């Protein structure tokens, strides 16, 4: 098996993990099971980063999102006394399912249209350029400082949401 075939096979595996985790997160009746689906999805995205020859970004994906955001979401679920039976899920009506499918189909259709209409410049496989962590750090603190700071905002919002859910639950008791 050549390198390109192995890369295609790994891409398919990671895509299945991402889609399977996403579907699991959406259709799970229990918040804990939905969180497991989210974790699967985030690990699949980290695998995609590895395919793009970006091991540092894959590690940051795991550390920041799986290691921090998901843990905060887990704590917020535990603080709100969510049961493993899925009692917190309300029955879904047919209209809500239809609207959710339409909302998912519109961006998917637009992305498919763009991907289908764009021609490739060459048939040759382009190997991603590997950037050293030194260069990445300088780029994050110079031209990409806004994106770097948004990571801390995501963590702060997740932490604040966990605390807020915990306090609101205690007030209602």
For residue 12, the model assigns a pLDDT of 94
Dist CA 85 CA 51 (whole Å): 37
Range in 43-47, 60-64, 85-89 the model is least confident about:
85-89
| Residues contacting 37, CB < 8 A, separation 6+ | 20, 21, 22, 23, 24, 25, 26, 28
Rounded to two decimals, what is the model's pTM?
0.64
Condensed to tens digits (0 to 9), the pLDDT of residues 31-57 reads 888 889 999 999 999 999 999 888 888
Q: What percent of the chain has pLDDT over 90?
A: 23
Condensed to tens digits (0 to 9), the pLDDT of residues 128-157 reads 677 788 887 888 788 888 887 887 887 788
Fold of 3-87+131-172: 1.20.120
Dist CA 6 CA 29 (whole Å): 36
- Contact status, residue 79 vs residue 162, Cβ threshold 8 Å: yes
Token pair for 138: 């300088």
**How many Cβ atoms sit within 10 Å of the Cβ of residue 84?**
9
Dist CA 12 CA 45 (whole Å): 12
For residue 105, the model assigns a pLDDT of 92
For residue 141, the model assigns a pLDDT of 85
* Domain assignments of the chain as residue spans, ordered by start: 3-87+131-172
Residue 104 clears pLDDT 90, i.e. is over it: no
């Amino acid at each position: 098996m050549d390198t390109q075939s192995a890369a295609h096979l790994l891409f398919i595996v990671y895509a299945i993990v991402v889609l399977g985790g996403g579907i699991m997160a959406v259709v799970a009746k229990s918040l804990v099971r939905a969180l497991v689906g989210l974790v699967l999805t985030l690990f699949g995205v980290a695998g995609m980063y590895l395919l793009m020859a970006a091991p540092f970004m894959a590690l940051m994906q795991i550390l920041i999102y799986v290691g921090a955001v998901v843990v905060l979401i887990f704590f917020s679920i535990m603080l709100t006394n969510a049961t493993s039976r899925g009692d917190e899920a309300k029955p879904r009506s047919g209209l809500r399912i239809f609207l959710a499918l339409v909302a998912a189909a519109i961006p998917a259709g637009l992305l498919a249209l763009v991907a289908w209409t764009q021609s490739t410049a060459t048939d040759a496989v382009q190997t991603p350029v590997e950037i050293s962590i030194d260069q990445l750090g300088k780029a994050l603190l110079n031209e990409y400082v806004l994106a770097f700071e948004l990571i801390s905002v995501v963590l702060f919002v997740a932490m604040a949401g966990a605390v807020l859910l915990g306090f609101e639950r205690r007030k209602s008791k």
